[in-house]
Structure 1
Amino acid sequence: MARVKRGVTTHARHKKIVDMAAGYRGRSSTNFRIAIEKVEKGLQYAYRDRRNRKRTFRGLWIQRINAGVREHGLTYSQFMNGIKRAGIDIDRKVLSDLAIREPEAFRALVEKARGALSGAD
């Protein structure tokens, strides 16, 4: 029976893992056995954090909107309630951007929200 020579396949598999571990510290970047563990853990973190990033950014946008709205005498929850009642459908990402880059446009939105709140009471 012929001898199976898999050096090429094994080398390619090892190289793929070690290349993914480039930039890790110590033997994690050069030793295959250690690199496997570190790369697998890194991929788990990447998978988890792709979802966590969405939560993190939403929280950031809410903080920015809240800061912008408080300058005009409302709270975040009052503002969002007023925006919904006024029929304005803008997501938090855009509202946050407006609060930072376009204060005049954001002020107009706050006034509309305030008007919708006072009209509903």
Structure 2
Amino acid sequence: MPRVKGGSTSNKKRKRLFAITKGYWGRKKNVYRRAREAFLHSLSRAYDDRKIKKREFRRLWITRINAAARAQGMSYSTLMNGLKKAGISINRKMLSELAINDMPAFVRLVEQARDALGL
């Protein structure tokens, strides 16, 4: 049986990996074993960081809503409780956008939350 080296396939595989790891620091960009390790590590980090990104944005929205609610004399938790009792379902992202860009609409929501709580 003739010997098969498979050089073109190996070269193609290495070339594809080095294209992905281009820009990595040190040997991680041009040594196959180190590049493969760095690439696999970066895949797992990317997966984790997509989850972390969602957490971070939710924290940011809550912080913004809390600051705007306190400017109206109400805490974040009482505002959210009042909105829930008033039957207003609005997500935190939209609520923070209202707090930043459309303060009169946010104030109306705060008033509705106050009425629902009986304050």
- What residue in structure 2 maps to residue 81 of structure 1? 81
- Structure 2 portions without partners, runs of 5+: none
State whether structure 2 residue 19 is matched by structure 1 residue 19: yes
Comparing 19-28 with 87-96, greater Cα deviation is found at 19-28
Equivalent position SS for 1:51: helix
Instruction: Give the TM-score normalised by structure 1.
Output: 0.94
Comparing 67-76 with 24-33, greater Cα deviation is found at 24-33
- Structure 1 portions without partners, runs of 5+: none
Letter paired with 2:82: G
Whole-angstrom CA distance in 2 between matches of 1:83 and 1:23: 49
Whole-angstrom CA distance in 2 between matches of 1:50 and 1:69: 29
- What residue in structure 2 maps to residue 43 of structure 1? 43
Identity over the aligned pairs, expressed in percent?
49
Whole-angstrom CA distance in 2 between matches of 1:20 and 1:79: 47
Shift of 1:52: 1.4
- What residue in structure 2 maps to residue 3 of structure 1? 3
State whether structure 2 residue 29 is matched by structure 1 residue 29: yes
Shift of 1:10: 0.7
RMSD: 1.1
Number of aligned pairs? 119
- What residue in structure 2 maps to residue 112 of structure 1? 112
Instruction: Give the TM-score normalised by structure 2.
Output: 0.95
Comparing 19-28 with 58-67, greater Cα deviation is found at 19-28
- What per-residue deviation string (whole Å, max 9, x for no partner) do you get for residues 50-101 of structure 1? 1111111111111110011000000000000000011101000100111001
Comparing 19-28 with 71-80, greater Cα deviation is found at 19-28
Shift of 1:5: 2.8
